[in-house]
Amino acid sequence: MNTKSRFAWVLWAALASGAASAQNGVTANTIVIGQSVPLTGGNKALGEEIRNGALAYFRKTNDAGGVHGRKIEMVSLDDANEVKRAGENTQKLVEEQRVFALFGYASATLSRPALPFVDQHGVPFVHPFTGADPMRVFNKHIYNVRSSYADELEKIVEHFVPLGVTRFGIVYYDDVVGKENFTAVERALKKRNYAPVAVAAVKDRAKPDIEAAVKDIAKGAPDVVILTTLFKASADFIKLARKSGLYAQMASNSFPGASPLAKELGNEGSGVIVATVVPPYTQAALPIVAEYRAAMDKQFGNKEYSFTSLESYIGAKIMVEGMRRAGAKLTRESFMRGLDSLSNYDVGGYFVKFSPTDHNGSSFVELSVITKNQQFQH
């Protein structure tokens, strides 16, 4: 090979190498990650909070020089809480925009369409915003930061049974994820020799028949109703139930998002119990909460804090730590090895544990009560 040919080959190899890196969402200066969330429609508030918490941490990271000199960019596509659009968004992010990794989809039903693309292209998927069991089956590409819905529902039942409560009703979606939630509650009750006295299976997430659900639950006259539905459906159920004379204690898992649920309920939210999977955003003495609040103030300047955006902030921090541990030569494989090394990582008073065989990072659950002014008592 003559000198001219050797130079041409070296140049081609360098360009090819750079193109390959760019295709994987990594350049000399940037790391591009992708997200599909509802930014319009009935679940807009939840999607915006998931996006905003991540944006606050990524800005904090970028202001400090990025990760090994690279700034993080997040592409957020609107899926309007529609499963089909979430799948189309994922295909666009992975195959057209060629993002490095996926982050923070708003539910298991929106995350599941991403799985074929994740597996086919080897794309890491960090912090799908769900505790649903179908997303917690081990997959080397998927990293769940938070606890499971089963953990939350066990916590709710565990809270009430010592108080003498034996009559529980359950509201759930009549689909794969919803049925898993129903099974989790049923399992927690069975462990204590109880069974649900009323159930309402909501068949349509987009247009739920709330009136039918309230009637189904009222038939069993429960003392506690456990809701596992989106915040609008849960709020509508609670309002109609009380209007109809069903004054059972209402309790929800974290799926609707504590803050969006409280806002949707307004003055009618007082006394509703919600499971939360991160520390209270009011606990400013906790390092991660103080850090989160300062970052949110800098990014948005409106002091609008929530459990949801705090959870997303923590997820983004975990993602960046995995990138840091991957080193300067960032690849998807080195990134996942970095995450797998987080054996007992202290985010700032909140601990996450991953390993090469376990990608479910936390089992932290607390119960919070919505107060009259749409705040939370813990």
Q: What is the pLDDT of residue 372?
A: 83
Cβ(232)–Cβ(43) below 8 Å: yes
- Kindly report the average pLDDT of the chain as a whole number: 92
Given a cut of 70, whether residue 11 has pLDDT beyond it is no
Find the Cα–Cα–Cα–Cα dihedral 145, 150, 156, 161, rounded to 10°: -150
Range 202-222 average pLDDT: 95
Range 333-359 average pLDDT: 97
- What kind of fold does domain 149-253 have according to CATH? Rossmann fold (3.40.50)
Both structure tokens of 318: 């975990």
pLDDT band at 16 (very low <50, low <70, confident <90, very high): very low
Segments in the chain forming alpha helices (H): 3-23, 44-63, 83-91, 108-111, 115-121, 149-160, 176-190, 210-218, 231-243, 258-265, 287-300, 307-326, 332-340
Q: What is the pLDDT of residue 377?
A: 86
Range 164-187 average pLDDT: 94
Classify the C-alpha dihedral 364-365-368-374 as positive or negative.
positive
pTM: 0.88
Residue with tokens 């009560």, as numbered in its chain: 369
CA distance linking residue 312 with residue 54, whole number of Å = 5
Q: What is the pLDDT of residue 42?
A: 85
CATH code of 3-146+285-363, in short, is: 3.40.50.2300
Closest CA to 201 of 192, 211, 189, 213: 213
Check for a shared fold between 3-146+285-363 and 149-253.
yes
Task: Give the three-class secondary structure for 271.
Answer: coil
pLDDT (tens digit per residue) in 87-98: 999 999 999 999
Q: What is the pLDDT of residue 8?
A: 35
CA distance linking residue 185 with residue 160, whole number of Å = 13
Residue ranges per domain, the chain? 3-146+285-363, 149-253
pLDDT band at 31 (very low <50, low <70, confident <90, very high): very high
pLDDT (tens digit per residue) in 266-313: 989 999 999 999 999 999 999 999 999 999 999 999 888 999 999 999
pLDDT band at 7 (very low <50, low <70, confident <90, very high): very low
Given a cut of 50, whether residue 18 has pLDDT beyond it is no
| Lowest model confidence (mean pLDDT) among 18-22, 253-257, 294-298, 316-320 | 18-22
Range 11-33 average pLDDT: 64
pLDDT over 70, % of the chain = 94
Both structure tokens of 76: 């957020």
pLDDT band at 14 (very low <50, low <70, confident <90, very high): very low
pLDDT (tens digit per residue) in 132-144: 988 999 999 999 9
| Lowest model confidence (mean pLDDT) among 158-162, 347-351, 372-376 | 372-376
CA distance linking residue 243 with residue 259, whole number of Å = 23
pLDDT band at 374 (very low <50, low <70, confident <90, very high): confident
Range 189-206 average pLDDT: 95
- The CB density around residue 104, as the number of other CB atoms within 10 Å, is 28
